[in-house]
Amino acid sequence: MTNNPTDTQVIQDCTILSIRNLNVHAGNHHILKDINLEIPKNRITVLLGPSGCGKTTLLKCMNKLTDLYRELKVTGNIFIEDDDILNTSKNIPSIRQKMGLLSQRPYPLPVSIYKNVAYGIKLKGIRDRKLIDYNVEKHLKEVGLWNEVKDRLHSPATSLSIGQQQRLCLARGLAVKPRIILADEPTSALDPISSKIIENLFRNLKENYTIILVTHVLRQAIRLADHVIFMYNGEIIEQGTPDELFNNPKSEKLKEYMVEGN
Amino acid sequence: MFRRIFFDRTTKTWMITTMVIILLMPVIIGVGLYLKSLPLLEHQSLRTLLFTSDWQPSQGKFGFWPFVAGSIYVTLIAFVLSAPVCLLAGIYLTQFASSRLVKVMYPVIDILAGLPSVIYGVWGILVVVPFISKFLAPIFGTTSSGYTIMAGGIVLAVMCVPYMLNMITEVFKTVPMGLREASLSLGATFWESVKHVVIRKSYPGIISAFGLGIAKAFGETMAVMMVVGNRVQVHFNPFEAGYPLPALIANNYGEMLSIPLYDSALMFAALLLLVIILLINLIFRYFIFKTRER
Ligand SMILES: Nc1ncnc2c1ncn2[C@@H]1O[C@H](COP(=O)(O)OP(=O)(O)OP(=O)(O)O)[C@@H](O)[C@H]1O
Ligand SMILES: [Mg+2]
């Protein structure tokens, strides 16, 4: 990145992902209603909202994971770097590699620690052993896991603690060199210390990645957010800077949520 | 208060008693069969019993190899035919099929799995046997009555498919959605995710389903007996008749018992069946244990 302040300004004001008129239906249930939003590049955008308001569904749309669920009907546009991923003829797997997913619970693949990180790299078509080794090490270091696992890279990933597994999942997501990290309550299954580690990682990762974070922890949102989106019942009620939303909430719903949420 | 403790104690005793009974069952059966087959074991060595093919009870010659080989052959054919079908159908039903198809298929599979084996046997006589004598054997350049090892294998395969498919779909269904999402989000295609994650995660379950399927196939009596020809011979050619172990017992028990040692020989056959099925189970347990470890 450059030191020129005006350049930095330009980069920061870029939108990396924008959503137009996104609607998701499951049968008669209207899960997401006319979602329109822009995700700023190299920032942490926090999605807030009560349980069942559609945060996870929104994240899954960005990654086209909604394809897995036949009952979901998705309409609208999602632009990522000029590709409308909902209506593109391009290769979906390579579009998905632009995003790393971190879910509520860690889901390590049923292979070794090493292969978990190498999985996405190999899918990119990289076969060079040395290059894979190098990247595995690099990304395990990036999430601060290298020293803990370097002597047992070939033992099953499930032998790690939950906190370590979550960091492994982050590492394997970073290994495909995504632009965006989609994190769905990534700390909700973790102890306070592991949560802190993940939070600090996010702060550092912001330099090179755009992060979209779903959280139920209001304090976490305040600590991390550059941009906040508040959802309620499938709709976006308010969005803006943390200062705007947390100090001067406009809608009753958000006021209520902030009182109950903390 | 006293009542509750009383019930607590007695239920515990009951549960332990039933457990012990269940655990003792195979032991009791095994010991009973062993005692009954002792006269035969004293008459001939275990080696000759198992590995010779001379079956002339009236002359006191008991070689069980034709029956053991027949059983293995039929089971093998059934497994080779049914295992890939089950695996692919299981993957399709749990990963790719529309929910409407699934809703129709599950009850159908359940019904098929519950059909009595005589029905499969009759179907075998009506369809499979003529199919083999009229089409399959000529294709391979031989003639055959149709009552063959191959017919037994096919009927058995058809019986095993719903039985194993039932278990395999259950296994695939337990693979968490999050795991598939993780694999897709790393850039895998649908099929790559199935191959690397769903099947991989299901290894132990797939193996145990196969193991149970093989054990069931090996012991299946009625349907096989009706189509397999029941002739005592060892042939590599699947278009020849065979005589599996369970059929030997079912066909002959209660008849020809005037022949000395015949009764004992049938008991030995039953013991053999029991031991082989236990062995199959043990081997598959070991595989499951090995794959879980990884
Ligand atoms: N595959 C699906 N089929 C039918 N309904 C669904 C499906 N997925 C989600 N929903 C419904 O969509 C709504 C939003 O679900 P979603 O998981 O997105 O909520 P959420 O905001 O992530 O909640 P939480 O904070 O509890 O995780 C819920 O009412 C849910 O029942
Ligand atoms: Mg959620």
> Do residues A22 and A76 make contact, with C-beta atoms less than 8 angstroms apart?
yes
Backbone angles phi, psi at A141, to 5 degrees: -70, -40
Chain B partners of A114 at a C-beta cutoff of 8 Å?
none
Q: What's the Rg (C-alpha) of chain A?
A: 19
Nearest protein CA to atom 1 of ligand 1, as residue: A69
Across the interface, whether the CB atoms of A110 and B197 are under 8 A apart is answered yes
Query: How far is the C-alpha of B105 from the C-alpha of B185, rounded, in Å?
Result: 30
pTM of the model: 0.83
Spacing, Cα A109 to ligand 2 middle (Å): 21
Query: How far is the C-alpha of B238 from the C-alpha of A244, rounded, in Å?
Result: 80
Helix (H) or strand (E) holding A73: strand A72-80
Query: How distant, in Å, are the alpha carbons of A145, A182, A199 from that of A185?
Result: 20, 10, 11
Per-residue pLDDT band for B270 (boundaries 50, 70, 90) equals very high
Please tell me the predicted confidence (pLDDT) of residue B254.
Answer: 80
Please tell me the predicted confidence (pLDDT) of residue A75.
Answer: 94
Please tell me the predicted confidence (pLDDT) of residue A216.
Answer: 86
How many CB atoms within 10 Å of residue B114? 10
Spacing, Cα A57 to ligand 1 middle (Å): 6
- Of the candidates A84, A16, A22, the one whose C-alpha atom is nearest the C-alpha of residue A234 is A22
Chain A partners of B290 at a C-beta cutoff of 8 Å?
none
The nearest alpha carbon in chain A to B94 belongs to: A68
Query: How far is the C-alpha of A166 from the C-alpha of A75, rounded, in Å?
Result: 32
How many CB atoms within 10 Å of residue A51? 7
User: Average pLDDT of chain B?
Assistant: 91
Ordered by where they begin, the domains of chain A are 1-98+215-262 (3.40.50.300)
Query: How distant, in Å, are the alpha carbons of A37, B63, B69, B235 from that of B56?
Result: 86, 8, 17, 18
State whether residue A60 sits within 8 Å of chain B by CB. Answer: yes
Please tell me the predicted confidence (pLDDT) of residue A2.
Answer: 41
> Mean pLDDT by 10-residue block, N- to C-terminus, for chain A (262 residues)?
43 78 93 93 92 92 90 92 84 90 93 94 92 94 91 92 93 93 91 89 91 90 92 91 87 84 56
Question: Could you tell me how far CA B252 lies from the centroid of its own chain?
Answer: 22
Helix (H) or strand (E) holding B72: helix B65-91
What are the residues of chain B with a beta carbon less than 8 Å away from any beta carbon of chain A? Answer: 98-99, 176-189, 192, 196-197, 200-201, 294
Nearest protein CA to atom 22 of ligand 1, as residue: A56
Q: Look up the CATH superfamily of B51-293.
A: MetI-like (1.10.3720.10)
If phi > 0 it is left, if psi is from -120 to 50 it is alpha, else beta; for residue B26 that is: alpha
In this complex, the residue of B176, B185, B196 whose CB is nearest that of residue A96 is B185
pLDDT, tens digit, for every residue of B120-176?
999 999 999 999 999 999 999 888 899 999 999 999 999 999 999 999 999 999 999
Query: How distant, in Å, are the alpha carbons of B131, B137, B237 from that of B125?
Result: 10, 16, 20
From the CB of A28, is ligand 1 less than 6 Å away? no
How many CB atoms within 10 Å of residue A161? 13
From the CB of A71, is ligand 1 less than 6 Å away? yes
Query: How far is the C-alpha of B204 from the C-alpha of B193, rounded, in Å?
Result: 18
SS3 state of residue A75: strand
pLDDT, tens digit, for every residue of B141-150?
888 899 999 9
Please tell me the predicted confidence (pLDDT) of residue B130.
Answer: 95
Q: Sketch the domain layout of chain B as residue ranges.
A: 51-293
Please tell me the predicted confidence (pLDDT) of residue A13.
Answer: 62
Give chain B's end-to-end CA distance (angstroms, integer).
Answer: 49
In ligand 1, which atom is closest to the CA atom of A24?
12
Q: Look up residue A11 and give its two tokens.
A: 């980069």
